[in-house]
Amino acid sequence: MKHLKAANHKAERVETAPSVAKRQVQEDVLGMAQPMGCTTIFNPGWEANPWGGTAGMCAPMEADLLGCANVCWWPAQVPDSLQNYPEWASACSGANAEDWRSLELVFPEKK
């Protein structure tokens, strides 16, 4: 690369631009301006993609729901079965496409 020279302004800008990782740390990420009821993890996110929309997310999310619970990936939306709700998905075998209907909702338990 050191023998190659930027041929025009655009190429110069590419050469001098900070790396993507550095830029992400420095800049405000658009996704951080979401309503409070959303979390802001976007990879793609549970609620929205990095641009605040819903395109390109896991479709449908039910297809990968147990994958989220098992590894505690979206603890604010899906009860994690690692630590807090170990038997959350015990009513689902995962073999049936309708299994998601037997998942529990998690509210604080009453005593």
Partner 1 sequence: MNTVWRRRRLLLGKLSGLVLGLTFCFAGQLAWSQEMTGPALLETRCSGCHPPHEEGGKLDSIEHQRKTPEAWEMTIYRMLRTHGANLEAGEARILIKYLSDRYGLAPSEVKPFRYALEKRNNTIERHVPKEVKGTCVACHSYARIALQRRTPELWGRLPDLTAALLPNIENQVASTGLLGDFWYTLVRKESVPYLTQTYPFDSAAWKQWQAKPKPNYAGVWNVVGHDPGKGGAYTGRMTLSASGNDGYEGQLVYDFADGSNMTGTTTVTIYTGFQWRGVAEVDEGKTHKEIFFANEDGTVISGRRLLTLVGDLGMEETLYRNTGQARFLAVSPTALTVGARATLRLFGMNLPESLDAASVSLGPGVTVQSLRRVDADTVMAEVVVGKKAKVGARQARIRGVAGERPLAVYETVDYIRLSPEQAFSRPGGVRTPKIFQQFEAVGYANGPDGRKGTDDDVKLGRVGPVTWKLNEYVKRVNDDDVRFVGALNAHGLFTPAEDGPNPKRHLSQGNVGDVWVEAWYQPQGARRPMGARAHLLVMPAKYNFQPIE
Residues of the shown chain interacting with partner 1 in the complex, contacts defined by CB under 8 A: 21-22, 24-25, 29, 32-43, 46-48, 51-57, 59-63, 71-73, 75-80, 82-85, 87-88, 90, 97, 100-101, 103-111
- Show Cβ contacts of residue 58 under 8 Å, excluding neighbours closer than 6 positions: 44, 64
Beta carbon nearer to partner 1, 14 or 33: 33
Closest CA to 78 of 110, 53, 46, 101: 46
Catalytic residues: 64
Beta carbon nearer to partner 1, 1 or 107: 107
Give the three-state DSSP class for 76. coil
CB of 89 to partner 1, least distance (A): 10
Q: Which two tokens stand for residue 46?
A: 């549970």
CB of 15 to partner 1, least distance (A): 22
Amino acid in the structure at residue 11: A
